[in-house]
Amino acid sequence: MEANHTLTKNIFNTTVLVSALGYFVDIYDLILFGIVRVPSLIDLGITGDGLITTGVFLLNMQMAGMLIGGIIWGIWGDKKGRLSVLFGSIFLYSVANLTNAFVTSTELYAVLR
């Protein structure tokens, strides 16, 4: 019985740690986007009222992506195993965020958000 308890405890800890990593990546990106939004949009040539409109659009795209991604990756996680799918979703999300540094249009920015 002790072996089962130890195994369950180890699995729970790994799952919690990986889930916390995913949560950290999401929150970190939201905070980072709030900090770099205006300078990045200015670099793309957006000025004036367009900064607010485009910034809100990009944030809406990110929230929609998080909702849709959560549903799709969640279903896939139920079928393939949550831990490996969670690592995959964190990896894809991280790659998309890194490529945000190289966008040249607001459309590409929205797709990667």
H helices within the chain, ranges in order? 2-43, 49-80, 82-99, 106-112
The reply to whether 11 falls in a domain is: no
How far is C-alpha 15 from the geometric centre of its chain's CA atoms? 18
Q: How many domains does the chain have?
A: 1
Residue 7: pLDDT band (50, 70, 90) is low
Domain that holds residue 36: 21-112
Model pLDDT for residues 55-106, shown as the tens digit of each residue: 999 999 999 988 998 899 889 988 988 778 878 888 888 898 889 889 999 9
pTM recorded for the entire structure: 0.76
The reply to whether 9 falls in a domain is: no
Give the mean model confidence (pLDDT) for residues 17-28: 82
Tokens of 55: 């910034």
| Nearest residue to 77 via CA among 62, 93, 63, 89 | 89
The reply to whether 35 falls in a domain is: yes
The reply to whether 76 falls in a domain is: yes
